[in-house]
Chain A
Amino acid sequence: MLVIKDLHVSVDGKEILKGLSLTINAGEVHAIMGPNGAGKSTLSNVIAGRDGYEITSGSVIYKGDDLLVMSPEERAWAGVFLAFQYPVEIPGVNNTYLLKAGVNAKRKHQGLEALDAFDFMRVVKEKAKLVELDPSFLSRSVNEGFSGGEKKRNEIFQMAVLEPDLALLDETDSGLDIDALRIVAGGVNKLRSPDRAIVMITHYQRLLDYIEPDFVHVLANGVILKTGDKSLALKLEEHGYDWVKENL
């Protein structure tokens, strides 16, 4: 589904990703772990299409197409979704309208009819249950006045409604208390499917207790230093990132 080859990315002239390669197939759940400043968020932002990242070399191929030439909205239509580390508040833009516009823009792109208001609300209510989101959040402005945990829950709710093929969860666990983490992780688990790939970016092993990854990657100094299974995360938790560097 996603093939990243030798990706070099700079921000303000400083190289952050230094030849990163990664292959992700449908149905897989990947965890990318690494210390602060390793380039984890840069990677997710580059995949989602955010401005301000200079791609100096390498390629990102998504479903056979060059992802890097696509606009953020084209990527969304093609099934890419980013759950933001810091979801932005957008006063005056209604949460539900945003999703309706997003869903219908994608359907239009796929040559499907727009969902009518009734069908759409049915889907929305069903998905809100998935992350135990209070229905009153649906009629509020996007993330406005939401607590940190509510924002993260709202991201996973949006993911559920938009039904992406490739979902990137950027530190979705940070700022969540243990109950909220359990609920959010439960929502993500219900969204696992053979057609969907999920990439979790996280600092901590504890998320992986709830969402079991197929692969764990260690990202440091702009490259994937090591790839393993779930046990790699446990070793990291125990020994720290320096252990990986020392044992290369």
Chain B
Amino acid sequence: MNLIQQTRQDALALFEKVGLPSKRDEDWKYTDASRLADLLELGEADTSLNIEGLGITDLDAYRMVFINGMLNEPQSNLPADVRMVSLADLQSDVADEDREDLAQLFKISGDEPLFNGLMALNAAVATGGAAVCLADNSVLDKPLYILQVSNQNNVLRHGLMLGVNAQAQVIEHFISTGEAHALSNCVTAVILKAGASLEHTRLQQEGKKQSHVARVEVKQLRDSSYTFHGVELGGILSRTDLVVSLSEQGASCNLNGLFVLDGRQHVDHHTRVDHKAPHCISRENYRTVLDARSHGVFNGKVVVHKGAVKTDSSQSNGNILLSKHAQIDTKPELEIYNDDVKCAHGATVGQLDDKQLFYLRSRGISEAAAQELLTFAFADEVLAAMSNQVVRSYVEKEAFAKLPHGADLDGLLGE
């Protein structure tokens, strides 16, 4: 048994011990993980799904396509100078110089921030994933687009390791086909070495009955920079734990989130940023637009450890409720263990601004369109942080289509 196989067996033992999160657990107070109990078994993966035309088709990118958790090599196109290792390779006994590093990506101790059984299960049973190792000083010339299509339970685990001063843009896009009632369990572990920079988008657009649990775990070394865009449009129950460790001096992270929900969708993001070293910066901006009986949960915790002087942290969370039955639970949390820090946080819950509405109407925009436009503008402010304009316009279009009168406003979005 190699190191990785051993690590995975340990993870399975851990899952069997702790099981699914319970509502008694403070971090799972609003999200009922027992709804996932029937969705943990992995059957034989159906890899025959037709994925033609799915995803962001006009994006110029390297692609990895996973169908029900399995890498589809013919649809994938990888850069020559980047090493990508599939999980199957990792489990073989073929020697690999990075095996020890990669084994780290599977190691679960149970003491991690926001630890829960689902992440242990993920490490134990993941059937696929990308292990991307970018060498020191290399810059990925195009984004890496990881398209993950499913109609069955599937478990994926990616590792992104960027060497010293390496740069990359990675987009994970989750889509499901048909009306499957299944669970995607996806973990992405990121390690950014000194000076490395990653822009990482997760676009969850699965089907109406699909559930999704995810964990993004980021370890940042000196002067590295991490930008996250978490976009939640699909699924019935979706939970993401985003855990960032600013481990060395000068590291910075920008965490952006957008939920546009309707029906009975339930989306929960718990974020945790640990400032462990001096002079680190964290920025967080989450916005939600909630219609019908949808439910959003945002919990953002920032911990400033002893010795993390000159920490600069700010967090903001804005929410618009379009229906009186929609619900948001938002909780910023700040724990500070030294004096020399600058920390700010705030959350707002509200309806649209009357003055802005009147202004637009006085210019001839109908009331419904004005509401829509302001709602869209509110959401779009988060997307403005995306550097990739193709991804941004795709998300804008899809988010827009979810608003009640989306179609009427098409002309307002420009060319």
Contact = CB atoms under 8 A, between A and B. Distances in A.
Q: Do A and B bind each other?
A: yes
Contacts of A117: 415
A158 B358 contact: no
B295 to A, nearest CB: 25
Contact of A76 (B361, B414, B415): B361
Contacts of A158: 363
B358 A102 contact: no
B381 A91 contact: yes
B412 A88 contact: no
A92 B376 contact: yes
A98 B414 contact: no
Looking at B364, B367, B413, which has the most chain A CB atoms within 10 Å of its CB? Answer: B364
B194 interface: no
Given A90-B377, A91-B381, A97-B412, A84 B359 contact: yes
Interface of B is mostly: helix
Contacts of B359: 84, 87-88, 90, 142
Nearest to A141: B377
B394 interface: no
Interface in A46-105: 48-51, 71-73, 75-77, 81-82, 84, 87-88, 90-94, 97-105
B17 interface: no
Contacts of B369: 101, 105
Given A88-B356, A91-B381, A92-B376, A101 B362 contact: no
B40 to A, nearest CB: 41
Looking at A71, A97, A158, which has the most chain B CB atoms within 10 Å of its CB? Answer: A97
A93 B374 contact: yes
B111 interface: no
B378 interface: yes
Contact of B374 (A77, A90, A97, A114): A90
Nearest to A45: B358
B411 A48 contact: no
A143 B381 CA distance: 16
A49 B411 CA distance: 25
Interface in B367-415: 367, 369-370, 373-374, 376-378, 380-381, 384, 409, 411-415
Contact of A102 (B355, B363, B380): B363
Contacts of A100: 411-412
Contact of A48 (B362, B374, B412, B413): B362
A162 interface: yes
B364 A73 contact: yes
A71 B365 contact: no
A49 B354 CA distance: 13
Contact of B414 (A90, A94, A103, A162): A94
B103 interface: no
A51 B366 contact: no
Given A101-B369, A101-B411, A117-B415, A92 B362 contact: no
What band does the interface of chain A fall in when counting residues whose beta carbon is under 8 Å from B? 35 or more
Interface in A23-50: 48-50
B356 A90 contact: yes
A51 B353 CA distance: 13
A72 to B, nearest CB: 4
A150 B66 CA distance: 52
A93 B364 contact: no
A153 interface: no
Interface of A: 48-51, 71-73, 75-77, 81-82, 84, 87-88, 90-94, 97-106, 114, 117, 141-142, 158, 162
26 contacts: A48-B358, A50-B358, A50-B362, A51-B354, A71-B367, A73-B365, A82-B362, A88-B353, A88-B355, A88-B356, A88-B359, A90-B356, A90-B374, A90-B377, A91-B381, A92-B380, A92-B381, A93-B377, A93-B412, A94-B414, A97-B411, A97-B412, A101-B363, A101-B409, A102-B363, A105-B366
Given A72-B362, A84-B362, 20 more contacts: A48-B362, A50-B358, A73-B362, A75-B362, A76-B361, A90-B374, A90-B377, A92-B377, A92-B380, A92-B381, A97-B411, A97-B412, A101-B363, A101-B409, A101-B411, A101-B412, A102-B365, A105-B369, A106-B364, A162-B364
Interface of B: 353-356, 358-367, 369-370, 373-374, 376-378, 380-381, 384, 409, 411-415
| Nearest 4 pairs of A and B residues by beta carbon | A92-B377, A76-B364, A72-B361, A102-B364
